Amino acid sequence: MKGPLDYLARWPLRLWLAMVGAFLYLPLLALVVFSFNDSRRITVWRGFSLRWYAELFDDGELVAAFGNSLVIAAASTLISLILGTLAALLLWRFRFAGKAPLEALLGLPIVVPEICLGVAFLVFFTAIVPWPTELPWPLNLGAIIIAHATFSFSFVALVVRARLASFDGALAEAARDLGAGEWLIFRDIMVPHMVPGLVAGALLAFTLSLDDFVITFFTSGPDTITFPIKVYSMVRFSVTPAVNAASTLLILLTAGLTALALWLQGADIAKQAA
């Protein structure tokens, strides 16, 4: 039986959903399909081939750019995980003068337009604190790592703070009464409770870094190309299935990471329910 609110069972709405779905997914589907095309064209199907993927792995610059992206994502994730967790703990535990402005400040990196942050880092790392370009790899990526950590640690703080809201303060009290010091309480009680938030925050920071184009665009130099920057220059100069193949790989990577995050959080929710 159809209830009055069973909107999903009505055909106009089904049609609408199908249209929106097609709008969202057909371009991506076409992109993936034509990455396997045995032709230089990306609109006419000429048979299945993996040659564009083979070409990717032969492209030294692209492989190096991918390596850079992974190093930047790993380093900025580590930094933003530490900073974000500390900020979350600070706001969760203490009441102090200037707390409200600090909370607002912590939210700023999330709302400031990317282009503004990008040009600010460009000026900062060229005119104010020039980041030396001749540093050995991976130190030459430092400026990009700093930029990425700056915009992602606010997100980590948000996620970890949400998790801390469910922490039972009595546990810490009990541990303190039994003689545990701050460090021991942090390591053995707080951290285990925070783990789901930490994992979710870390995966968020990692994907944000891996996906970022605009801010990286302004902080990277000729020797510090990341994967999105390289793909951008490929898109600008030629539209070949090689770009489709590179995109497909990146889609798989982020989809995999996101599925992992969802699965971990799902497992956490299931555990709480049990």
User: Where in 196-215 is the site for other proteins (CB under 8 A)?
Assistant: 207, 210-211, 213-214
Say if CB 115 and CB 219 are below 8 A apart. Answer: no
When binding is defined by CB under 8 A, the residue of 113, 179, 192, 222 that contacts other proteins is 113
Which CB atom, from 25 or from 137, has the smaller least distance to other proteins?
25
From the list 53-61, 102-110, 158-166, 191-199, the region that binds other proteins by CB under 8 A is 102-110
Which positions from 4 through 43 interact with other proteins, judged by CB under 8 A? 4-8, 13, 16-17, 20-21, 23-28, 30-31, 34, 41-43
From the list 47-55, 57-65, 83-91, 134-142, the region that binds other proteins by CB under 8 A is 83-91
From the list 46-54, 158-166, 191-199, 230-238, the region that binds other proteins by CB under 8 A is 230-238
When binding is defined by CB under 8 A, the residue of 62, 65, 87, 245 that contacts other proteins is 87
Size of the site for other proteins (CB under 8 A): 81
When binding is defined by CB under 8 A, the residue of 22, 105, 195, 269 that contacts other proteins is 105
C-alpha–C-alpha distance, residues 104 and 157, integer Å: 12
Residue 60 binding other proteins, by CB under 8 A: no
CA-based end-to-end distance of the chain: 33
List of residues 6+ apart from 229 with CB closer than 8 A? 65, 213, 216, 217, 220
Alpha carbon dihedral 20, 247, 236, 149, in 10-degree steps, equals: 100
Encoded tokens for 138: 């991976």
From the list 58-66, 132-140, 158-166, 247-255, the region that binds other proteins by CB under 8 A is 247-255
C-alpha–C-alpha distance, residues 47 and 34, integer Å: 10
Binding mask 124-143 for other proteins (x = CB under 8 A): x--xx---------------
Q: How far is the CB of 175 from other proteins (least distance, A)?
A: 14
Per residue, the 3-state secondary structure of 2-23, as one string, reads: CCCCCHHHCHHHHHHHHHHHHH
Binding mask 40-59 for other proteins (x = CB under 8 A): -xxxx---------------
Q: How far is the CB of 205 from other proteins (least distance, A)?
A: 14
Binding mask 157-196 for other proteins (x = CB under 8 A): x-----------x------------x--------------
User: What letter does residue 132 receive in the DSSP assignment?
Assistant: P
Which CB atom, from 140 or from 152, has the smaller least distance to other proteins?
152
Say if CB 243 and CB 52 are below 8 A apart. Answer: no
User: What letter does residue 37 receive in the DSSP assignment?
Assistant: B
Burial-class residue 90 by CB neighbours within 10 Å (0-12, 13-18, 19+): middle
Q: For residue 37, list its beta bridge partners.
A: 48
When binding is defined by CB under 8 A, the residue of 66, 153, 155, 206 that contacts other proteins is 153
Residue 258 binding other proteins, by CB under 8 A: yes
Burial-class residue 249 by CB neighbours within 10 Å (0-12, 13-18, 19+): middle
